[in-house]
Amino acid sequence: MAAIVRISSLCHRGVKPLFHRSSLLLRPLGVQQKDQDRPYQLTARIHGSPSLYSGSGSKAASLHWTGERVVSVMLLALGPAAYYIPGPAIDYSLAAAITLHSHWGIGQVLTDYIHGESKIKVANACLFLLSTVTFAGLCYFNHNDVGICKAVALLWSK
Amino acid sequence: MALFLRSLTRQGTCLSRSQFGVLYRHAVPMGTTAKEEMNKFWAKNNKLNRPMSPHVTVYKWSVPMMMSISHRGTGLGLSAGVSAFALLALVLPGSYPYYLDLIHSQSFGPALIGLAKFGIAFPLSYHTFNGIRHLCWDSGKGFKIPEVYGSGYTVIVLTVLTTIAAVAYKGAA
């Protein structure tokens, strides 16, 4: 086969076009045959960087990620707060932050290990139910019983 | 290859010599998301009843690996504990101080209380310290292998010290 595939045009353009936000990256391949005096041009579709989709896609996943980190940091702050200024405000904040952190964490575990559309739906529904009951139980405990901070203090006093 | 060139000749896809000219006739963006691709992978492989390649059973375990799965394990354990506590709070008729005193007054009571303190302190402190390590990674820091091991051992040492201190500590009522 005497055809020589030339990627010279790609070499000329260098790597920079790969980072451009075009919807599709195409590169012409110059195919030359010694006995032909006209080069034929083919195109090849190549995948660009994930930023391709940022225009048309939603930011839900990235916002979720950020939300997870924010709740984690808040939970870190609530620890010393619960020790130094225990009370209903911290009790309910802890109930909310713990439940949410837990819910999102278990959600990631389910995403990692459960596959198949219907199985994923069932698992997430069960998780939602569990988190709702957990939050309800913690709020009930805060309202009708001693509250989270006091409960921990009592356990550590025995 | 020759077939391809012949088909090109038929189409007459000769272009001018412009190096930067591109054919947008076939410019169609890819239609699937990463999630869809993943689902397709699992659907196909489950349908063909393919066994999973050995991974955790054949790969040599390392400290970072063990710490990572422990982070997940302690997280799940703590969540289970919190949910169990919340459920009991909804279901049991008596108050928390009543049940605490009830357990404490049993013969095995103080041991059980000590076990509860350890059962809370150890996973909570490990998950917290390793969680801080994770947040450092999220900010882009500490990915070099010596740093990963260094921060890992720091987490382990801090966990042990904190757990000992927590179990030993006895506060005022």
Under CATH, which number does the domain B63-168 receive?
1.20.1300.10
In 3D, which of A12, A128, A53, A132 has the Cα closest to residue B31?
A: A53
In 3D, which of B91, B16, B149 has the Cα closest to residue A145?
A: B91
Phi and psi for A26 in degrees, rounded to 5?
Answer: -120, 145
Q: Pick the range with the lowest mean pLDDT from A145-149, B108-112, B122-126.
A: B108-112
According to the model, what pLDDT value does residue B173 have?
A: 55
Averaged pLDDT for residues A91-103: 98
According to the model, what pLDDT value does residue B42 have?
A: 87
> CB-CB: which of A9, A105, A141 is closest to B89?
A141
State pTM to two decimals: 0.73
Mean pLDDT (chain A) is 79
If residue A156 lies in a helix (H) or strand (E), which one and from where to where?
helix A148-157
Please report, for chain B, the start and end positions of each structural domain, with discontinuous segments joined by +.
63-168
Residue of B nearest to A131 (CA): B83
Q: Pick the range with the lowest mean pLDDT from A23-37, A48-62, B106-120.
A: A23-37
Summarize pLDDT for B11-23 with one digit per residue, the tens: 545 544 545 445 5
According to the model, what pLDDT value does residue B31 have?
A: 75
CA angle B141, B143, B147 (to 5 degrees): 95
Summarize pLDDT for B66-104 with one digit per residue, the tens: 999 999 999 999 999 999 999 999 999 999 999 999 999
C-alpha–C-alpha distance, residues B84 and B88, integer Å: 6
Query: Which runs of consecutive H residues, i.e. helices, occur in B51-95?
Result: 63-91
B87: Cα within 13 Å, side-chain hemisphere: 9
Q: Is the pLDDT reported for residue A92 higher than 70? A: yes
Global ipTM: 0.78
> CB-CB: which of B24, B86, B138 is closest to A134?
B86
Residue of B nearest to A54 (CA): B33
Coil, strand or helix: which one is A114? Answer: coil
Percent of chain B at pLDDT > 70 equals 82
Q: Rounded to 10 degrees, what is the CA torsion of B40, B43, B46, B51?
A: 10
Residues in chain A: 158
Which residues from A are below 8 Å from B28, CB to CB?
24
Q: Is the pLDDT reported for residue A107 higher than 60? A: yes
Q: Is the pLDDT reported for residue A18 higher than 50? A: no
Q: Is the pLDDT reported for residue A28 higher than 60? A: no
According to the model, what pLDDT value does residue A141 have?
A: 97
Chain A nearest CA to B109, separation (Å): 10
B45 backbone φψ class: left, alpha, beta (φ>0; ψ -120 to 50): alpha
Q: Number of A:B CB contacts under 8 A?
A: 145
Mutate to test the interface with B, among A7, A40, A124, A133 (most CBs of B within 10 A): A40
Mutate to test the interface with A, among B38, B90, B105, B112 (most CBs of A within 10 A): B90
Percent of chain A at pLDDT > 90 equals 59
According to the model, what pLDDT value does residue B8 have?
A: 58
Ligand-binding site membership of A12 (annotated): no
**What band does A23 get if pLDDT is binned at 50, 70 and 90?**
very low
Asked if residue A98 lies in contact with residue A138, where contact means CB atoms within 8 angstroms, the answer is: yes
Q: Across the interface, do B83 and A133 touch by the CB < 8 Å criterion? A: yes
Residues in chain B: 173
